[in-house]
């Protein structure tokens, strides 16, 4: 039986020499790969008490929504600045070159709600760190963070210390 990592396409020297790009689209294109990835995340959550799934655009939507649906939970989208129609809360975070801002609706997390964050990839952890701050500012509690893939060499987990983090696949490099 194949494993999720068998569905990942690795592209050497992209976007620059020495980098191996891990392409998640090949997981999505295969029904068995997609099922393995979503089921892998749900396995991490089988004994976790939570109310909501939060996912950043766009691949956090792709993996977070089927998890929320299958586990009968709500889903909260986190978007880039200016994409949500109602009153939002926002958080700026650092990128390799510059910064970015993510937002979520102010009424999306209620005080005391237990939240799981789902995304496709953890690299440096900056996006997820910003999302955690927004959830906590709204009174929510992050009880688990789940990824399909982790690039351990970029040390994203260090920014997420104090939170349980799981990855279906871990690549030791970056």
User: What is the Cα 36 distance to its own chain's centre?
Assistant: 16
Q: How far is CA 55 from CA 126, 145, 153, in A?
A: 14, 10, 23
Could you say which of 22, 59, 79, 144 is catalytic?
59
79 is catalytic: no
Read off φ and ψ for residue 45, nearest 5 degrees.
-105, 0
In angstroms, the CA 115 to CA 60 distance is 14
- What 3-state DSSP class applies to 163? coil
Q: Active site residue: 9, 57, 87, 96, which one?
A: 96
Distance CA 94, CA 14 (A): 22
* Residues catalogued as catalytic: 59, 96
């Amino acid at each position: 039986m194949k494993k999720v990592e068998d569905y990942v396409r690795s592209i050497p020297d992209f976007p620059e020499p020495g980098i191996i790009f891990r392409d998640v689209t090949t997981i999505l294109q295969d029904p068995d790969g997609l099922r393995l990835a979503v089921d892998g995340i749900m396995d991490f959550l089988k004994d976790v008490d939570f109310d909501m799934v939060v996912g950043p655009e766009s691949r956090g939507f792709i993996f977070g929504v089927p998890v929320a649906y299958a586990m009968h939970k709500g889903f909260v989208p986190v978007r880039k600045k200016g994409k949500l129609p109602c009153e939002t809360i926002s958080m700026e975070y650092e990128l390799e070159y510059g910064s970015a801002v993510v937002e979520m609706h102010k009424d999306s997390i209620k005080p005391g709600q237990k939240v799981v964050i789902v995304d496709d990839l953890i690299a440096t952890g900056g996006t997820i760190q910003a999302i955690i701050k927004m959830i906590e500012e709204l009174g929510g509690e992050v009880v688990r963070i789940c990824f399909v893939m982790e690039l351990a060499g970029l040390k994203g987990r260090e920014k997420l210390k104090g939170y349980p983090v799981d990855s279906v696949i871990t690549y030791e490099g970056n």
